Amino acid sequence: MKLVRYNPARHWNHTGSLFDRFFNDSFFYPEKNEHQAFSPRVDIISHEDDFEINVELPGVKKEKIHIDLKDNVLSIKGEKKHESELKEDRFYRKERVTGSFERRFSLSEDVMTDNIEAEFTDGVLTVKLPKNKAKTEVRQISVH
């Protein structure tokens, strides 16, 4: 599995000042936040026998989660909706994000793609990707 280091700085506005970002925030312009998609947080753990991907999906129903594997790329897709809308109330700030998401992970050759398992418990999706022991073992080569 190819891991790419997360860089939170890539989301920062490098050209604007803190003052500009404050007044361009969705608190003052709520329409900016209406159709904002969300990207769930992910932990990737390498165990001896498998890789484990944990995806935080609070408020997402199990039926709305779809996992696909194509060309050694694992895709996790889903949708988060609020069932009821409060049309008579006025929001000053709405920080809960709704919408669809998709996360993709490039798998390495040492993952046994036929034995991938997924479980969804308490708002956390856990995907187990078993390692192929034959491909991951280190073999000593003698020098002559």
- Maximum alpha-carbon separation in the chain: 82
CB neighbourhood size of 91 (10 A): 9
Say whether pTM exceeds 0.75. Answer: no
Residue with token string 């992970």 = 105
Q: In order of start, what are the domains of the chain with their CATH numbers?
A: 15-134 (2.60.40.790)
Question: Can you list the positions of beta strands (E) in 5-80?
Answer: 42-46, 50-56, 66-70, 73-80
| Strand partners of residue 103 | 76
Per-residue pLDDT of 83-115, as tens digits, reads 555 566 666 666 677 788 999 999 988 899 999
Q: What single-letter amino acid sits at 31?
A: E
